[in-house]
């Protein structure tokens, strides 16, 4: 009986700790999700990104010769589709990300278009540029993903233009395969790894910020970045670099902050 009670106590303790951790982790999402769902500034940024892309694409079409057919490559989540309701679900239910809940969300095929995306993509199609959606959603999510894109009237929403993850999260091999046939003139994403592996996978020991500053000319000309305050490789990369395994994720983030001191300020 004592063993049963002890085991039961340990299980309850584990569940309680897990729930507390999930509650703490999801609190981080509140401001980010509220901002993306309610702030006009967020929508202004995404519209701005796609309007800049339209100006740039028009420039490419008139000034650059291409032997291959032109194409653009876009990520899906938080680039063309808004999944913030899933993050809101995590917050409300005090749950961390898990594939089961994520699949429930994607099966609904209810994600709304990111502001500015459809206008730009229709412009792209009307100017003879092919569109590919390269996502790290799994093949198991292909049908509802296509359904979602088609319901929202995204151009080129078909199997040939939807390229999902098979084995690796890195998109480099998928980008290279497309480049064999197409001249990819623009890349779109909310994550630097949507553009190149040099930012997180093959970064030569440098931070993503350092890698961005090495080639600032790429942004706005070849790479179009969309804002995403809810999640991204920047966060997981920070945890991976942490060598003090005693620190929680929250402590790692706190340790990364740069503040200032008032000691040398004249009174």
**Torsion of the alpha carbons at 50, 187, 71 and 127, rounded to the nearest 10:** 10
List all residues 6 or more positions away from 238 whose beta carbon is below 8 Å from its beta carbon: 252, 253, 256
pLDDT at position 20 is: 44
Q: What is the side-by-side order of every strand in the sheet holding 70-74? A: 162-165, 130-138, 70-74, 183-189, 223-225
- Walking along the chain (267 residues) 10 residues at a time, the average pLDDT comes out as 49 43 66 98 99 98 94 99 98 94 98 99 99 97 99 99 91 96 98 94 82 96 98 84 82 87 72
SS3 266: coil
Q: Evaluate whether 155 touches 127 at the Cβ level (below 8 Å).
A: no
List all residues 6 or more positions away from 100 whose beta carbon is below 8 Å from its beta carbon: none
**Quick one: CATH architecture of 27-246?**
3-Layer(aba) Sandwich (3.40)
pLDDT at position 17 is: 43
| H-run or E-run covering 64 | none
pLDDT at position 180 is: 98
Strands 70-74 and 183-189: parallel
pLDDT at position 182 is: 98
pLDDT at position 140 is: 96
State pLDDT tens for residues 23-62: 446 777 999 999 999 999 999 999 999 999 999 999 999 9
pTM, rounded to two decimals:
0.88
In whole angstroms, what separates CA 128 from the centre of its chain?
A: 27
The domains of the chain are located at: 27-246
pLDDT at position 12 is: 44
pLDDT at position 64 is: 87
pLDDT at position 80 is: 99
pLDDT at position 241 is: 77
Rounded Cα–Cα distance for residues 180 and 170 (Å)? 18
């Amino acid at each position: 009986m004592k063993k049963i009670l002890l085991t039961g106590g340990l299980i309850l303790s584990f569940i309680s700790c897990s729930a507390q951790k999930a509650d703490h982790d999801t609190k981080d999402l509140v401001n980010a999700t509220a901002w993306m769902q309610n702030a006009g500034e967020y929508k202004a940024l995404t519209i701005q990104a796609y309007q800049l892309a339209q100006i740039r694409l028009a420039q490419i079409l008139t000034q650059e010769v291409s032997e291959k057919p032109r194409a653009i490559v876009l990520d899906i989540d938080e680039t063309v589709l808004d999944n913030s309701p899933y993050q809101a679900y995590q917050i409300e239910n005090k749950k961390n990300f898990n594939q089961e809940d994520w699949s429930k969300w994607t099966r609904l095929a209810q994600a709304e278009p990111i502001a500015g995306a459809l206008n730009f993509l229709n412009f792209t199609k009307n100017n003879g540029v092919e569109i590919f959606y390269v996502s790290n959603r799994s093949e198991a999510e292909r049908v509802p993903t296509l359904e979602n894109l088609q319901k929202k009237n995204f151009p080129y929403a078909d199997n040939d233009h939807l390229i999902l993850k098979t084995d690796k999260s890195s998109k480099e091999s998928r980008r290279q395969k497309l480049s064999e046939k197409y001249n990819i003139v623009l890349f779109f994403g909310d994550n630097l790894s949507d553009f190149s592996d040099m930012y997180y996978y093959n970064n030569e020991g440098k931070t993503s910020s350092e890698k961005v500053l090495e080639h600032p000319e790429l942004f706005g000309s070849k790479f179009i970045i969309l804002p995403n305050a809810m999640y991204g490789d920047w966060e997981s990369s920070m945890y991976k670099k942490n060598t003090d395994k005693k620190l929680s994720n929250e402590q790692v983030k706190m340790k990364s902050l740069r503040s200032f001191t008032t000691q040398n300020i004249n009174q």
